[in-house]
Amino acid sequence: MADLVFGLDTFGDIPEGDDGAPITDAAAIRQVVREAVLADDLGVDAIALGEHHRPEYSISTPETVLAGIASLTQRIKLGSGVTVLSSDDPVRVFQRFSTVDALSNGRAEVILGRGSFTESFPLFGYDLADYDVLFEEKLQLFSRLLDEKPVTWSGTTRAALDNADVYPKTESGHLKTWVGVGGSPQSVVRTAYYGLPLMLAIIGGAPDRFAPYLDLYRKAAEQFGTTAQEIGMHSPGFIADTDEEAREVFYPRYKVMRDRIGALRGWPPIRREEFDSEVEHGSMYVGSPETVARRIAAAVQSLGVGRFDLIYSAGPVPVSARLKTVELYGAKVIPMVREILAEQEN
């Protein structure tokens, strides 16, 4: 798996500063740019920024931050993780990302999804009752825009287009577009229908439980007569010098974020035993570089995915600890995973 792609994902979580207090939204955005530049220097392949409209997160417009990162980096791919297409306009999304593509000399990619939160719907004037039709129609239109030719389209969720040409176009004629899926078979089938790459959000439980989705994606593409594209996965994690340090720094901050969101969804507070079990057997990659590398290699091997993204900023983890995670991921974990997988192939 020499061509395996490694990425980092963040929602711009508000971290703790040196004094232990949360930093400002503006400082959190600048911190993400700093982390992206470090990742680029270390040879990490991609960074994806998620869209959120909540107080825990600083990034509401990923492409704006990506444009800033583009001017300071050379090779790292710049994507969203995810762009909430249901509450956005497909034409504007294409225009914004084709602009990032221009600024980055062809490094932009967009991951489209419904999102794991619903705040964007009332914020931008959309009815949650239209949740399904909004995504279906807008994905249909976006897939047409990817041809970069005049589009004629009509639906119920936005104004019709009549031979509309959309600018700017990309220099390559191709804006890399994924669909992010959280575990819905219907979403997997839809992604196959449009012939787009699939990014699986695997944030709990054993990774191999998602294997049926990979099979479903490939079989659906065959039945639709489309081409099965790349499949990636992203999962949360945190890296420190030792397993003990990683758990002790990460757990209390992760619990703050997890319990706050869980209360809105009717989940009980997370217990330390659950966290430890997820770290040891599930989809949370927390520990020393050696531990995290072994677990990533096992997940990639069991699923056969071509990309792994680490969500490296879950909760108010201190700025210095986040930077250390990025450093260890790029300098140690990625080379170790490649080495482990190469040994398994031989």
Q: What is the DSSP string of 44-69?
A: --EEEE----STTB--S-HHHHHHHH
Average pLDDT of the chain? Answer: 96
Q: Are strands 151-153 and 161-164 parallel, antiparallel or unpaired?
A: antiparallel
pLDDT at residue number 346? 77
Q: pLDDT tens digits, residue range 167-209?
A: 999 999 999 999 999 989 999 999 999 999 999 999 999 999 9
| pLDDT score of 252 more than 80 | yes
Q: Select the more confidently predicted residue: 31 or 346.
A: 31
Work out the widest C-alpha separation in the chain, in whole angstroms. 60
Give the separation between CA 54 and CA 285, rounded to whole angstroms. 25
Quote the pTM value.
0.96
| pLDDT score of 104 more than 70 | yes
Contacting residues for 275 by C-beta, under 8 A, at least 6 apart: 247, 251, 254, 255, 284
pLDDT tier at 18 (50, 70, 90 boundaries)?
A: confident
Dihedral of the alpha carbons of 16, 19, 25, 28, in degrees to the nearest 10: -60
68 CB-contact burial (10 Å; exposed 0-12 / middle 13-18 / buried 19+) = middle
Give the separation between CA 120 and CA 230, rounded to whole angstroms. 29
